Chains A and B, each alone.
Chain A
């Protein structure tokens, strides 16, 4: 009965989404307060109903109710509780339910916290959100229903793909989806503005926190996925330019552009049309990502069981929303008034360059991701576009942007002087250059590219810190005063500093691993010694292993440096019970300077084991950098300006009364 209540809640949510769509748009059109109030409540109700359905499915997983086909296919009674819970979204149907749940949560959040939005604008935003929700709920109910029943219920389930049974991956999809789906709010704002035919100051101000929230979630979601790939797949790499990864990178690039261009709209009332277009693109790329992942149309190492028919449904959704919004844009955009003026050298100008480069980079990734598909459709040739392509396009595009990052915040609005900025930044530039050169000299035979990367990373970090210290008046004012300024600093400013510095840190890690990695693959018998980087590895031996739902062997390795024991690394080969599927658990020793990464391979005929070792210099910088960027996003979100229910609201009617009589 519980299961059916969940199913009914889902269907009811679909009906409410349809209602939300119609009532909000019509209500805004008629300026009918009753309709708009009901539309707002519909957004909240929809979130509650989908939440009910979602937790019912989760309950079915926890109690192993295999009368639900989805649970039967993806769970097993012997699975640890954490993975019973994460199993909910470890499969297509469940993950789509999570998708619509997060979508509805965002809609509900706009309804709840959007008190500072003009009622008609808010109603239109919620209406567009409702239409997206309706489309995806239809998709879930009609083609990917997680509540399909089995009768009689099988005794045992088929188990979750063991490679997904991992803490980092258990929470990777919710974050990533929050990022993807959060962009739907920016999209809904853009479409609402196009329907209204104007971009208000309120629009510009309140679209930002939503975009920032989804950027923050996307950042941490991508980082978690990359971290998972790093230590779970056993290849020692963190990014493979795989279509599924690119599908998350493209929205991130455009979302990054969007959070920057939205600043210009808010502060300078310029770039409005461009920002609307970016909002549409950002969500379109999210939809495209969903389509790529869910249709399996592109070969990906990350693709799990997928179904082409569902792909067509998502393709239809994609066509309707992207086509529809772009058509609306083409009709309405010319009517929008252009905004403030600015000189090419100015904060706005820098942000325009930022946007251009980010979009060009996203376009390069887009081409590389979809070119194989296009070529195969055209002449049947099967090709892959791999890392070399992306290194050759993405890299050269991004380097100039990265060089500009510390300059941007130093430029003034409207018109800026490069010489003034040069005077403020020359010391930072010299320091970064010195670091780059020092690296080049130290690693005599090392690739100069790596030195470039470290230099650019240092430029970003030092630039961000320098800008912060200037704001605080470090050196000019007493320490106490600087501290007071630090405490009074808008959190958004602090967030920007963190995000830029985190980017620099991640960059150093990326270049370090890419150019200085040391690899050693050897066959080892117990007692054998191999060397990796500055370390030596001694194979101690292997012991049988028995986990809750797997068996296997566990190999022990002593890691020594200069003859002294550093740690004992353990790598495991596991075989998971229900499916007999093998996985590798790597042994990882992390230091600031680099990671020792060790994966045990198959048993060789002569009784040894193949062992793959990497020394990944500076690898942890990648994750720390991403974590700092995430923190920066979070910190910005807590800025008082974004805080909901800003006190201005109460003052508005009084203000309008006096102004109204004057006008």
Chain B
């Protein structure tokens, strides 16, 4: 091979590697992304049960119930609509009533939400950005620390 051919071969193999990477990325992205909704968005967009998604909002005050310390039921609200969430596991330290929360899981036939992950944050003033923005868009007033 001449110098030019060698270089061409190298560039081609590089492009092939990038092509494989790009293919993987495109395939994975279309297959694995998870959409984020607040309770009212979920109602507006008629989200089909069975789809994996993230539900965000605030934990409605007084709604948290856990009978055995492992199964938790709470209500997520964006002040317009609410969704009941069931979660088996340990709630994060910073999970509190009236605070922002994101739950990932699957919407059930009966309209409740079966979460397998519940996220709160390291910082106690935390309001998940999506939650803050969604609530702001709906005109809900937020206290300090929101929208970080």
Interface positions of A (Cβ within 8 A of B)? 161, 163-164, 234, 296, 299, 301-306, 341, 343-344, 352-353, 356-357, 360-361, 363-364, 367-368, 371-372, 381-386, 388-389, 392-393, 396-397, 521-523, 573, 579, 581-584, 599, 601-606, 608-610, 612
Contact = CB atoms under 8 A, between A and B. Distances in A.
B29 A579 contact: no
B66 A385 contact: no
Nearest to B54: A384
Q: Shortest 7 CB-CB distances between A and B: which pairs?
A: A604-B69, A610-B69, A360-B21, A382-B36, A523-B69, A392-B28, A388-B32
A604 B68 CA distance: 6
A385 B37 CA distance: 14
Contacts of A386: 32, 34, 104
A302 B122 contact: yes
B129 A161 contact: no
B34 A383 contact: yes
Given A305-B145, A344-B9, A392 B54 contact: no
B97 to A, nearest CB: 13
- Overall SS of chain A's interface: mixed
A341 B89 CA distance: 59
Q: Which of B6, B24, B125 has the most CB of A within 10 A?
A: B24
B121 interface: yes
Contacts of B92: 234
B81 interface: no
- Overall SS of chain B's interface: mixed
Given A344-B9, A356-B14, A522 B70 contact: yes
Given A301-B119, A384-B54, A388-B28, A612 B69 contact: no
Interface in B1-45: 3, 6, 9-10, 13-14, 17-18, 20-21, 24-25, 27-29, 31-37
A304 B25 contact: no
B70 A364 contact: no
Q: Which of B6, B21, B119, B134 has the most CB of A within 10 A?
A: B21
Range class of the B interface residue count: 35 or more
5 contacts: A161-B122, A352-B10, A392-B28, A521-B70, A604-B67
B32 A608 contact: no
Nearest to B3: A341
B137 to A, nearest CB: 10
Contacts of B125: 305
Contact of A234 (B6, B10, B93, B124): B93
Q: Which of A392, A522, A579 has the most CB of B within 10 A?
A: A392
A397 B24 contact: yes
Contacts of B35: 381-383
Contacts of A364: 21, 24-25
B51 interface: no
Q: Which of A396, A521, A608, A610 has the most CB of B within 10 A?
A: A610
A389 B148 contact: no
Contacts of B68: 523, 604-606, 608, 610
Contact of A389 (B33, B36, B70): B33
Contacts of B32: 385-386, 388-389, 392
Contacts of B126: 303
Contact of B21 (A161, A393, A521): A393
A344 B6 contact: yes
